[in-house]
Amino acid sequence: MKLNKLCVAIAATLPLLGSFAANAADVDKEKRVFGSIFTEYYMPDTDKTESAAWDYMTKDWGYGIELGYYLNETWALRAEYARLEMESKLDGTDVNGNRIGFDAMYHISQMPSVYIVGGLKRFDAAQTTTAVNLGLGYKHFFNQNVALFAEANRYQGIDESYADAGIKLGVSYLFGSVAEKAAPAPAPAPAPTPVKVVEKPVVVKVVDSDNDGINDKDDKCPNTAANHKVGPDGCTIYVEKMAAVGDVDIEVRFGFDSAVVPADQRFDVQSLGAFMQRFPESTVAIEGHASNIGNPAYNMKLSQRRADAVAKMLKQDFNIAESRISSVGYGVTKPRVEGNTRAAHRANQRIEAKVTAKIKEPVLR
Complete DSSP assignment for 112-131: TTEEEEEEEEEE-SSS-EEE
Among 154, 174, 194, the domain-final residue is 174
Q: Does residue 95 fall inside a structural domain?
A: yes
Q: In terms of residue numbers, what domain contains 244? A: 239-362
Query: Which string of b and e fits 86-103 if b means at least 16 CB within 10 Å?
Result: bbbbbeeeebbbebebeb
Q: How much is the pLDDT for 182?
A: 47
121 and 258 belong to one structural domain? no
Domain count, the chain: 2
Q: How much is the pLDDT for 7?
A: 40
244 and 358 belong to one structural domain? yes
Residue 164 backbone zone (phi > 0: left; psi -120 to 50: alpha; other: beta): beta
Amino acid at 286: I
Q: How much is the pLDDT for 179?
A: 57
CATH number for the domain that contains residue 96: 2.40.160.20
Q: How much is the pLDDT for 119?
A: 96
Q: Does residue 29 fall inside a structural domain?
A: yes
276 and 169 belong to one structural domain? no
Q: Does residue 214 fall inside a structural domain?
A: no
169 and 30 belong to one structural domain? yes
- What's the rounded Cα separation, in Å, for the pair 223 and 213? 12
Ranges of the chain whose pLDDT falls below 50: 1-22, 181-182
Given a contact cutoff of 8 angstroms between Cβ atoms, the answer to whether 136 and 119 are in contact is no
Given a contact cutoff of 8 angstroms between Cβ atoms, the answer to whether 284 and 307 are in contact is no
- What's the rounded Cα separation, in Å, for the pair 339 and 292? 9
Q: Does residue 227 fall inside a structural domain?
A: no
250 and 156 belong to one structural domain? no
53 and 165 belong to one structural domain? yes
170 and 260 belong to one structural domain? no
**Model pTM above 0.75:** no
Q: How much is the pLDDT for 112?
A: 85
| CA-based nearest residue to 121, from 130, 112, 111 | 130
37 and 133 belong to one structural domain? yes
- What's the rounded Cα separation, in Å, for the pair 172 and 176? 13
CATH number for the domain that contains residue 257: 3.30.1330.60
H-type alpha helices, the chain:
4-13, 46-49, 267-278, 296-318, 342-348
Q: Does residue 221 fall inside a structural domain?
A: no
31 and 170 belong to one structural domain? yes
Residue 156: burial class (beta carbons within 10 Å; 0-12, 13-18, 19+): middle
State pLDDT tens for residues 221-269: 888 888 888 888 889 887 777 666 666 667 777 776 778 888 887 888 8
